[in-house]
Amino acid sequence: MRFDGRAKTVDDGPLAGWRAEGRLVPFCPEVEGGLPVPRPPAEIEGGVGGAAVVAGIARILTPEGADVTRQFLAGAHAALAQARSMGIKMAILKDGSPSCGSLRIHDGTFRGRVTPGAGVTTALLEAHGIRVFGEDRVAEAAAYLGELERTIRD
């Protein structure tokens, strides 16, 4: 579910199979961090990326200037705790999001422009060895999962 309450579903073949096998763990770091749905959009100040937010040198703001950094960080840490408790090695998250973006995020101007970068949750998960893929890279995620499973079998 998006920040504005609209669904943004992905029905890619591998995802449908993983869903049927019970392998997916639905998780929204922004909601887990205490933000409502719907909520105002938010962007990382200056579009610098989630690692800067995790390091405490950037903030996440709404168009009105409300600072929602604390909620984004709480959600990212909750995602990491969930992943660790379940032994999760990879995640498929929503690209473009200030939480979940894996290749691109909005540039912080609220003008619809994107810039290369990762969101807060992605940055935190990857810093702890959990590989993150955007929803448009499911085939790549499936290949990575195959590698993980082969490593476990061998």
Is the bond preceding 41 in cis, omega lying within 30 degrees of 0?
A: no
Is pLDDT of 8 > 80? no
Tell me the CA distances in angstroms from 151 to 103, 114, 125, 130, 141, one per residue in order: 26, 36, 21, 16, 15
Residue 6, pLDDT score: 62
pLDDT at 2 over 60: no
If you search the block for the tokens 């600072």, which residue do you land on?
A: 67
pLDDT of residue 13: 81
Burial 109-141 (b: 16+ CB within 10 A, else e): eeeeeebebbbbbbbbbbeeebbbbbbebbeeb
C-alpha separations of 33 from 24, 51, 63, 74 in Å: 20, 17, 19, 5
Q: What is the pLDDT of residue 11?
A: 60
pLDDT one-digit tens code per residue, 65-114: 999 999 999 999 999 999 999 999 999 999 999 999 999 999 999 999 99
C-alpha angle 16-21-22 in degrees, rounded to nearest 5:
95
Tell me the one-letter amino acid at 19: R
Instruction: Please tell me the predicted confidence (pLDDT) of residue 10.
Output: 58
Q: What is the pTM for the complete model shown?
A: 0.91
Digit-coded pLDDT (tens) for 105-145:
999 999 999 999 999 999 999 999 999 999 999 999 999 99
Domain boundaries, the chain: 13-153
Take residue 59 and report the two structure tokens written for it.
Answer: 């903030």
- CA-to-CA separations, 50 to 83, 85, 142, in angstroms, rounded: 18, 23, 25
Cα angle, residue 109 at apex, residues 106 and 110 outer, rounded to 5°: 70
Instruction: For 23, list phi and psi in degrees, rounded to 5.
Output: -95, -5
pLDDT in tens, 29-49: 999 999 999 999 999 998 899
